[in-house]
């Protein structure tokens, strides 16, 4: 068995103090007082993290809000024994990797995954690495970079092979770091962030290829693998890939003078039409720093867009989604007030449910990859 297989074991109590089914049949708002009461009972022993894309009914209880890395780092800097992460699976893994001894990470719903992270399985990545070397890649020639939105196994894979993790805000610096150490980059798992980053650095599109793990040899000839500078994994964000160039044209026609800002997980064709692009934190800052009366169409997850629209409406700023059909992160949405109340009330009773625990050897190499990221932190 590969040392990177079976890396994370969700740990549930043998006998759950509270049955989850009893919570999920209740309307969301009926759990509010139960959540608040459990928070009071747990006190500083427990910290609650809420990702920007989380639904309002849940994120309002969070001690910290932010992107996945920011939240994991913030939790590790506290003395809380329990970290309840209202996000998705890879985020809880990252929190466990960065957590100090004695901290336990809980994901209120184990079904809250990430479709992008799931598009790169460790066995497929190991096979890709072998194919690249069979195509003639020399030892040390390829540097693997994985986006934060990936499993602990993929982070560990990159750390063990001289690579690192990146965020959407420091992807370019990660590319520069990698090219200073090798001639090629294997970028996982989001093809769009990789392509947008390479393109912004002046790397021609014909020097970037897409590796499809579901095709023989990745669907790329050995010759193309040898000549490519960037090998992009065929993965994407199900939310951000939905935005299309025609959405930009349509919103500009509807709202003359509007500024279009998008996340770099969007397609290259969308990013090229936008006025600005950036990480979730950067998109928020662009809106914050804009003068009153500015209008924005934002290409990112709908919960964040709606939250910003409400927050900045009193300041005279108009904010709409780039695609008015709405782009929902359905896996993030799975964490409900019922799931949160269930996890917290179990903790009150001394029962830890849905613990996310990364295996020690994988945690070591994933931490190495994350620590290298700090060298190039934007």
Q: For residue range 116-174, what is the model confidence (pLDDT) as tens digits?
A: 999 999 999 999 999 999 988 887 899 999 999 999 999 999 999 999 999 999 999 99
Average pLDDT, the chain: 90
199 DSSP assignment: H
Mean pLDDT along residues 7-30: 60
Determine the Cα–Cα distance for residues 80 and 59; give it in Å rounded to an integer. Answer: 19
For tokens 């190495």, the residue is 368
Q: According to CATH, what is the number of the domain 240-328?
A: 3.40.50.10800
Rounded to 5°, angle at Cα 87 from 84 and 90: 100
Domains 8-113+332-358 and 240-328 share a fold: yes
- Which pLDDT band holds residue 19 (cuts at 50, 70, 90)? confident
Take residue 176 and report the two structure tokens written for it: 């520069």
Q: Is a pLDDT exceeding 80 seen at residue 246? A: yes
Whole-prediction pTM value? 0.89
pLDDT at position 326: 66
- The residue ranges of DSSP E strands in the chain, in sequence order, are 8-11, 46-51, 64-66, 82-86, 104-106, 142-147, 164-166, 184-188, 208-211, 230-233, 259-262, 276-277, 295-299, 318-321, 355-358
For tokens 């934007």, the residue is 378
Listing DSSP states for 148-162 in one string gives SSS-HHHHHHHHHTT
pLDDT at position 12: 42
> What residue segments make up the domains of the chain, in order of their start?
8-113+332-358, 117-238+366-375, 240-328
Q: For residue range 176-191, what is the model confidence (pLDDT) as tens digits?
A: 999 999 999 999 999 9
Within its chain, how far is the Cα of 350 from the centroid? 30
- Which pLDDT band holds residue 377 (cuts at 50, 70, 90)? low
Q: According to CATH, what is the number of the domain 8-113+332-358?
A: 3.40.50.10800
For tokens 């939310």, the residue is 239
Which has the higher per-residue pLDDT, 110 or 27?
110
- Which pLDDT band holds residue 5 (cuts at 50, 70, 90)? very low
């Amino acid at each position: 068995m590969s040392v990177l297989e079976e890396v994370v074991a969700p740990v549930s109590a043998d006998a759950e103090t509270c049955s989850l089914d009893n919570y999920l049949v209740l309307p969301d708002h009926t759990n509010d007082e139960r959540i608040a009461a459990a928070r009071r009972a747990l006190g500083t022993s427990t910290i609650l993290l809420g990702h920007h894309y989380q639904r309002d009914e849940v994120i309002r209880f969070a001690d910290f809000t932010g992107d996945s890395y920011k939240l994991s780092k913030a939790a590790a800097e506290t003395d809380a024994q329990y970290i309840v992460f209202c996000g998705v699976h890879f985020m809880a893994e990252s929190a466990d990797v960065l957590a100090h001894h004695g901290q336990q990470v809980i994901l209120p719903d184990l079904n809250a995954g990430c479709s992008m992270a799931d598009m790169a399985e460790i066995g497929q990545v190991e096979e890709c690495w072998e194919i690249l070397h069979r195509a003639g890649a020399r030892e040390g020639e390829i540097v693997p970079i994985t986006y934060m939105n990936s499993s602990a196994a993929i982070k560990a894979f990159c750390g063990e092979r001289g690579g690192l993790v990146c965020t959407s805000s420091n992807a370019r610096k990660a590319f520069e770091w990698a090219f200073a150490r090798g001639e090629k980059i294997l970028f996982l798992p989001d093809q769009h962030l990789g392509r947008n980053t390479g393109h912004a650095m002046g790397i021609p599109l014909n020097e970037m290829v897409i590796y499809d793990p579901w095709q023989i040899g990745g669907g790329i000839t050995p010759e193309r693998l040898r000549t490519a500078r960037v090998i992009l994994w065929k993965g994407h964000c199900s939310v951000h890939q939905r935005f299309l160039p025609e959405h930009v044209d349509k919103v500009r026609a509807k709202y003359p003078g509007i500024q279009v800002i998008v996340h770099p997980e969007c397609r290259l064709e969308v990013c090229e039409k936008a006025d600005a692009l950036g990480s979730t934190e950067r998109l928020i800052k662009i809106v914050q720093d804009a003068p009153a009366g500015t209008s924005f169409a934002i290409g990112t997850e709908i919960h964040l867009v709606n939250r910003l629209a409400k927050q900045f409406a009193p300041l005279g700023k108009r904010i709409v989604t780039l695609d008015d059909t709405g782009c929902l992160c359905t896996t993030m949405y799975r964490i409900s007030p019922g799931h949160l109340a269930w996890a917290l009330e179990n903790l009150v009773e001394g029962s830890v449910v849905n613990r996310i625990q990364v295996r020690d050897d994988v945690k070591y190499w994933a931490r190495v990859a994350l620590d290298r990221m700090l060298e190039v932190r934007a």
